[in-house]
Structure 1
Amino acid sequence: MGMAKSITSVWVIDDIDDQTLITIAFKNIDPIILVTLLDKDEAFLNHIQQASPLAKLVLLDLNMPKINGFEALKELRANTKYDAVPIIVLTTSSNSTDKEIAWSLGANGFFNKPVTYTELMNVIQKVAIQWHVFQN
């Protein structure tokens, strides 16, 4: 009897259009990946307090309609449960100040959000490999 594969959970904090594309990208890499979509302030804050199991990886956009990405990053890093969880910023911003702030707040990676779906797939694949999303 082999051990059951634990479900890998990835959280995507972004607006709805990009969430859809990112979910498809992860499912194409490995259909068993559980993608949790978060975008509302209260829902997000409740989720990070109560979530179990924790995410293997958090993908975070900086420019969102309801929640500021830097605030979200701060909230996650203020909670010691998330010390070991990689938080990757995936944003349309190419502003170097944004990048510096993200690093200073505890981001583990910073990627510019590509324009095409193919490029997005490549970035998601890179992120998944670099931060060991596939390893149990």
Structure 2
Amino acid sequence: MSDKIIFLVEDNPDDEALTLRAFKKNNIMNQVVIAHDGVEAINYLLGPDSANNLIPQIILLDLNLPKMDGLEVLKRLRSDERTKLLPIIILTSSREEQDLLNSYDLGANSYIRKPVDFNQFIAAVQQLGLYWLVLNEIPPVRR
């Protein structure tokens, strides 16, 4: 198992299962930590016990989340020294141009629309894994 953690913030059980299946199909064996809403994501990364949690190599962040939407999560992560440099990839079904603009404006590293077709999704995850988990170098973690 890789020491590179993937932090998936996704509230839809079907999309979560699809993402995990796409990782498996692409032999991405990294540990995946999952948060099911924005508050859970913030608590994992910035909460009182966050120093005990594994630091993700990448964060895959959905925008349409309960309790706190993905844009607010992104804003909070970018405003904190501990997480402001972590790679955050927006992985969403949103087709709204304003979501795309707001995501980049708030500091997203990438914006990927979830393909409806599973084979296209597998291909997208393969590219995502190759670039963000193999080729990309992240800055040192601040605690």
Q: For the Cα contact (< 8 Å) 1:62–1:91, is it kept in 2?
A: yes
Tell me the CA shift for residue 24 of structure 1. 1.6
Q: Secondary structure at the match of 1:88?
A: strand
- AA paired with 1:13? V
> Aligned residues: percent identity?
31
Which digits, 9 at most, give the CA deviation of each residue in 1:54-77, with x for residues without a partner? 100111111123430101111211
What amino acid is the match of 2:134? Answer: F
Q: CA RMSD in A?
A: 2.0
1:27-83, Cα deviation, whole Å (9 max, x unpaired):
332353111111134422220120533100111111123430101111211222223
Q: Which residue of 2 aligns with 1:10?
A: 6
Q: What is the rounded CA distance, in whole Å, between the counterparts of 1:31 and 1:90 in structure 2?
A: 17
Aligned to 1:39: 36
Q: Structure 1 stretches of 5 or more lacking a match?
A: none
1:85-129 C-alpha deviation (Å, 9 max, x unpaired): 210111111221111100010100011111021111111111112
* TM norm structure 1: 0.84
The aligned residue for residue 89 of structure 1 is: 90
Q: Which residue of 2 aligns with 1:21?
A: 18
User: How far has the Cα of 1:6 moved from its partner?
Assistant: 4.6
Aligned residues: 131
Task: Give the direction of change, closer, same or farther, for the CA distance of 1:97–1:115 in structure 2 (3 Å limit).
Answer: same
Q: Could you tell me which residue of structure 2 aligns to residue 129 of structure 1? A: 130
- Counterparts of 1:124 and 1:78, CA distance in 2: 28
TM-score, length basis structure 2: 0.81
